Amino acid sequence: MKFTRRRFVQTVGTSLVVTPLSLQASGSHQRVKNNPFQHGVASGDPLEDRVILWTRITVNNPQHRVVQVKWRIALDPEFETVVNEGITHTATEIDFTVKVDPDDLQSGTTYYYQFHALGYESPVGRTKTLPKNHIDHLRIAFTSCSNYPFGYFNVYKMIAQRQDLDVVLHLGDYIYEYANGTYGDGSALNRIPEPNKEITTLDDYRMRYSQYRQDLDLQEAHRQHPFITIWDDHEVANDAWNGGAENHNPELGEGNWLDRRAAAVKAYYEWMPIRRVDSDNPLKAYRKFRFGNLLDLMMLDTRLYGRDQQVANALDPKLNDPDRKLLGDEQSEWLLENLQDSQEDSIKWRMLGQQVMFGQLVVSGQIFNVDQWDGYPASRQKVLNHLKDNNIDNTIILTGDIHSSWAMDITENPYDGSQYDGLTGQGSVAVEFVTPAVTSPALTNEVEADQTAFYLKATNPHMKFVDLFHRGYVLLDITHERTQAEWYHAESIVEPGNTNQVYAAGFKINDATNRLTIADKVSNEKNTAPAFAPSFSGNEHHEKKHYKLDRD
Ligand SMILES: [Fe+2]
């Protein structure tokens, strides 16, 4: 074993996970309890000159209805070069969550940030602004589907430990709405969801986020990397669409859909490091991020904004109704325009960060899942026509939702040999990469999962990689020559602190080819990566280190 600096940081980081317990044992229980930064820090939605910084204040004194919070952001982890600082307030109305959006930052730059409230300093976070103009290389991790009772968030810790990431994408199902035992039983792992009931009200959703964000592995991923997130269905309720959800049942006392959705969305904005794109309409969360001349990332909402209701099954005659929408007209127009603008601006790659599988999945001659783009064929065709009609190259779809790993070519009809050649990929117009879950399961029997994957690849010629068993994440390594996706699978999600991971597969799309080929080698880490945010106990009272807000 090589003892590198990286390994040292990892080891120290792991040992600190137990600090709260050791502090309690040494009689510092009061300090642990009073520390207001129980949910760590986070950052997100980076732009060239700004990035959202987030924390939350845990208030033990019910008299406190408003809390003053100081913040600062610096070029170095020791805060010797502070570039901006300020004072903000938080209150009961926003569940004591804190968001600041400091501007005037430099593009493509790593920053360190920290908050201060009620006599305590927060952990130090690390973040990075988007690059501008020409850049050579990006490294991005993406994942989805983190169900608390199903297992430990080891996958988040693995992502936290990758020092050279530019950003992390979370494609939804960041929380799950169920009571314990409905989908995942956390009894054995002591990961019982709070409140232990199906969440439907604002207080419920807030409490669920609060529980998830006390998970130290999730906190560490947020502390080390900026996130770009978008919701899927479980941030509100299973199989959500614009007007309801499979798991929304007013007759069971779950209230009105619009009230429940509004509560869930409010809690999402409070608890996630996301920037509102429309001050009048919180439901509008689709948005775009430009990474220099290398990548345009369009984050889509295929759930709440414009989705018409799912059809009952694949035989439903309404399936092919051209008026049924997945994105809704406004979002669809926005996407098509942005794809075209991106190509015209000579941005090398276009990525769609979204929820449900875009490519066709046919089992025994029938569409398998009408909750995916397969259930909205007219909406998918519109995107495909646009790519073809405008000769838009280098489009990559990033997908979550189904707790399994897939790589596939995207084409209008992969089952028609005159249109698409499964051996060469001739006829493909884009590619799709699907991430496994942080913890949510797909098939739980490994032999059965392998056999099913083999069958699916044999009968769906556009599918190049299918794994239906493992949890993990996808690493994207992006250059002007190619984008490579690598699937990393977790050894265990039931053993706490196990961050062993297996390189499961790698596929790349070479510039202007629009089809997948197998990656010949694992991508290299960046030669230089900014220092991690320093480790912290999260529970110490730094009386002497309080920073002044006066500029020198
Ligand atoms: Fe999920």
For residue 468, how far is its CA from the centre of ligand 1 (angstroms)? 13
For residue 143, how far is its CA from the centre of ligand 1 (angstroms)? 10
For residue 507, how far is its CA from the centre of ligand 1 (angstroms)? 23
Q: Give the whole-angstrom CA distance, residue 148 versus residue 319.
A: 34
For residue 294, how far is its CA from the centre of ligand 1 (angstroms)? 30
pLDDT of residue 31: 53
pLDDT of residue 62: 85
pLDDT of residue 454: 98
Q: Give the whole-angstrom CA distance, residue 321 versus residue 375.
A: 10
For residue 222, how far is its CA from the centre of ligand 1 (angstroms)? 20
For residue 54, how far is its CA from the centre of ligand 1 (angstroms)? 25
For residue 284, the tally of other CB atoms under 10 A from its CB is 18
For residue 403, how far is its CA from the centre of ligand 1 (angstroms)? 6
For residue 169, how far is its CA from the centre of ligand 1 (angstroms)? 15
pLDDT of residue 548: 42
Q: Give the whole-angstrom CA distance, residue 542 versus residue 119.
A: 8
For residue 183, how far is its CA from the centre of ligand 1 (angstroms)? 10
For residue 48, how far is its CA from the centre of ligand 1 (angstroms)? 31
pLDDT of residue 536: 67
For residue 203, how far is its CA from the centre of ligand 1 (angstroms)? 22
pLDDT of residue 34: 86
Backbone angles phi, psi at 439, to 5 degrees: -140, -25
Percentages helix, strand, coil for the chain (3-state, rounded to 5) are 25, 25, 50
What is the side-by-side order of every strand in the sheet holding 167-170?
97-100, 52-56, 41-44, 226-229, 167-170, 138-143, 472-478, 482-490, 501-510, 517-518
For residue 238, how far is its CA from the centre of ligand 1 (angstroms)? 9
For residue 404, the tally of other CB atoms under 10 A from its CB is 24
pLDDT in tens, the chain (552 residues): 332 333 323 332 332 222 232 222 333 445 557 899 999 999 999 999 999 999 999 998 888 899 999 999 999 999 999 999 999 999 999 999 999 999 999 999 999 999 999 999 999 999 999 999 999 999 999 999 999 999 999 999 999 999 999 999 999 999 999 999 999 999 999 999 999 999 999 999 999 999 999 999 999 999 999 999 999 999 999 999 999 999 999 999 999 999 999 999 999 999 999 999 999 999 999 999 999 999 999 999 999 999 999 999 999 999 999 999 999 999 999 999 999 999 999 999 999 999 999 999 999 999 999 999 999 999 999 999 999 999 999 999 999 999 999 999 999 999 999 999 999 999 999 999 999 999 999 999 999 999 999 999 999 999 999 999 999 999 999 999 999 999 999 999 999 999 999 999 999 999 999 999 999 999 999 999 999 999 965 444 443 344 444 332
For residue 145, how far is its CA from the centre of ligand 1 (angstroms)? 4
pLDDT of residue 61: 87
Q: Kind of pairing, strands 405-410 and 120-121?
A: unpaired
Q: Give the whole-angstrom CA distance, residue 518 versus residue 532.
A: 32
For residue 334, how far is its CA from the centre of ligand 1 (angstroms)? 26
Q: Give the whole-angstrom CA distance, residue 141 versus residue 161.
A: 11
For residue 295, how far is its CA from the centre of ligand 1 (angstroms)? 26
Q: How far is CA 7 from CA 163, 473, 529, 542, in A?
A: 11, 20, 14, 28
Contact 169, 141 (CB under 8 A): yes
For residue 406, how far is its CA from the centre of ligand 1 (angstroms)? 15
Q: Give the whole-angstrom CA distance, residue 325 versus residue 332.
A: 9
For residue 234, how far is its CA from the centre of ligand 1 (angstroms)? 7
**Which amino acid type is present at position 311?**
V
| Displacement of CA 32 from its chain's centroid (Å) | 29
For residue 155, how far is its CA from the centre of ligand 1 (angstroms)? 15
* DSSP conformation letters of 80-143: SSEEEEEEEEEEGGGTTEEEE---SPPTT-EEEEEEEETTEEPPPEEEEPPP-S----EEEEEE
